[in-house]
């Protein structure tokens, strides 16, 4: 097709409201050439709206495709890495709990030498494992485990929904979560985790556990001595 005919076709397609990328699928020229041809072609308000809608549809389709690719990649990685873990024995589970407490647990300090076991998190699986670890390796009974719920104060009216969620996740009756604390919202603070996936935070405390906390601290020190990089 002659160059002039290509130009006329491009102008005609543009007036129909097609985007540059759509036109280039039918008119095989460089994008710079197309831009030069179409720079004086105006679009009506309706045509501009149509182009915007098409762009949004393309963005959504691209987002869906990327999400599907990401999920497939994660699934493949999960399958390969699951085999890396292998069978977990008592020692591995015991050490895992120590490392978890080292990372997330409340430690005794010079200003508070009597603090007991306290572990805070918002991950149900992590909390479930820690509670299992307390009962399995420290022989803590349920009556000595205290579960405290922390949520933002703008959720105060629906706190029962949060209690129900954690009751189901951790396998304890609702009355186990008898202490609910409310965190004041800062108007200027933009928090990404306060949405439909927000469930608050759980503090796991153990009654009369000052010496047990010291025992965990001793295990951590023992690990440090055995670890070549600490």
Q: Is the pLDDT of residue 143 over 70?
A: yes
Answer whether residue 211 is part of any domain.
yes
Answer whether residue 76 is part of any domain.
no
As for how many domains the chain has, the answer is: 1
* Residue 188, pLDDT score: 46
Convert the pLDDT of each residue in 207-226 to its tens digit: 999 999 999 999 999 999 99
Give the predicted TM-score (pTM) of the model.
0.71
pLDDT band at 11 (very low <50, low <70, confident <90, very high): confident
What range does the domain containing 129 cover?
90-226
Structure tokens at 164: 């129900």
pLDDT band at 194 (very low <50, low <70, confident <90, very high): low
197 torsion bin: left (phi>0), alpha (psi -120 to 50), beta (else): alpha
3-state SS string for 179-220: EEEEECCCCCCCCCCCCCCCCCEEEEEECCCHHHHHHHHHHH
Answer whether residue 34 is part of any domain.
no
Q: How far is CA 107 from the centre of its chain?
A: 26
Answer whether residue 112 is part of any domain.
yes
Answer whether residue 22 is part of any domain.
no
Asked whether the beta carbons of 184 and 153 are under 8 A apart, the reply is: yes
Which runs of consecutive H residues, i.e. helices, occur in the chain? Answer: 3-15, 20-24, 31-38, 45-85, 90-104, 124-137, 159-170, 210-226
Q: Is the pLDDT of residue 193 over 60?
A: no
Answer whether residue 79 is part of any domain.
no
């Amino acid at each position: 097709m002659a160059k002039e005919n290509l130009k006329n076709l491009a102008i005609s397609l543009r007036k129909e409201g097609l985007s540059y990328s759509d036109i280039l699928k039918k008119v095989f020229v460089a994008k710079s050439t197309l831009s030069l041809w179409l720079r004086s072609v105006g679009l009506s308000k309706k045509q501009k709206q149509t182009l915007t809608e098409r762009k949004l549809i393309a963005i959504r389709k691209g987002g869906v495709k990327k999400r599907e690719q990401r999920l497939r990649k994660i699934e493949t990685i999960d399958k390969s890495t699951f085999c890396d873990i292998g069978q977990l024995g008592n020692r591995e589970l015991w050490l895992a709990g120590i490392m978890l407490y080292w990372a997330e647990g409340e430690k005794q300090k010079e200003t508070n030498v009597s603090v007991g076991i306290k572990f805070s998190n918002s991950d149900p699986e992590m909390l479930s494992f820690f509670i299992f670890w307390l009962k399995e390796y420290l022989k803590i009974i349920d009556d000595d485990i205290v579960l405290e719920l922390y949520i933002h104060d703008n959720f105060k009216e629906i706190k029962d929904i949060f209690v129900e969620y954690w009751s189901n996740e951790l396998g304890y009756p609702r009355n186990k979560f008898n202490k609910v604390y409310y965190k004041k919202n800062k108007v200027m603070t933009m928090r990404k985790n306060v949405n439909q996936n927000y469930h608050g935070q759980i503090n796991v405390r153990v009654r009369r556990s000052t010496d047990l906390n010291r025992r965990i601290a001793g295990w951590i020190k023992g690990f440090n001595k055995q670890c070549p990089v600490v």
